[in-house]
Amino acid sequence: MKVTLVDYGAGNLPSVERALQRLGADTVRATVASDLNGCQAIILPGVGHFGALMHTLEERQLLQPLRATLVRGVPFLGICLGLQALYESSEEAPDRRGLGLLAGRVRPLPVSVKLPHMGWNQLRHKRPSRLLQAVPEDAYFYFAHSYAILEPDEATVAVCSHGACFVAALERDNLYAVQFHPEKSGQAGALVLRNFLERVA
């Protein structure tokens, strides 16, 4: 299985790449639009600022080709900021539009709790999921974020709580995404990546 990693300068891309390679995946980086041609599966890793992500994708002329590829049905996994990018917009960068493949707006977590939400936390599974197949309900995952989708919907397969309930994992058609970092989440995270490779892609 060849997996295309969208390379826009995200600091966690090498660690995602290594995690996939340990599972036997063949990885390639997409830095220009032509790198998306004929791809079998796409992962958008993410750390940083929503506005910077969308600006860089646009600047590298990756934004519209990426969106078109996902509309065609190529399996996709968004990680952390990669989940947020699927939505229409984010309050972190009100002047920047997301991919707009899912309806909704990314909002800040409550200031009443320590931000960023950084460290280990558990999920609450909402419905059966390919991505979370065989993942124990008491498993811990590593989070690092201050913004999230605070309105779970029919795409939501798991939620988490840090001052407010937020979407921790979602699945809709060919779109899969997690707010946590599977590449930093030990055996549970490796199982999520394996499920994407074997059950989705």
Q: What are the catalytic residues? A: 80, 181, 183
Burial class of residue 5, CB neighbours in 10 A (0-12, 13-18, 19+):
buried
DSSP 60-120: TT-HHHHHHHHHTT--EEEETHHHHTTEEEETTSTT-B---SEEEEEEEPPTTS-SSEEEE
Q: Which of 155, 187, 160, 24 is nearest to 78 (CA)?
A: 155
Q: Which of 16, 8, 69, 10 is nearest to 42 (CA)?
A: 69
Angle 49-175-148 from CA coordinates, rounded to 5°: 35
Residue tagged 């980086």 (tokens): 29
Q: What is the Cα–Cα distance from 11 to 138, expressed in whole angstroms?
A: 28
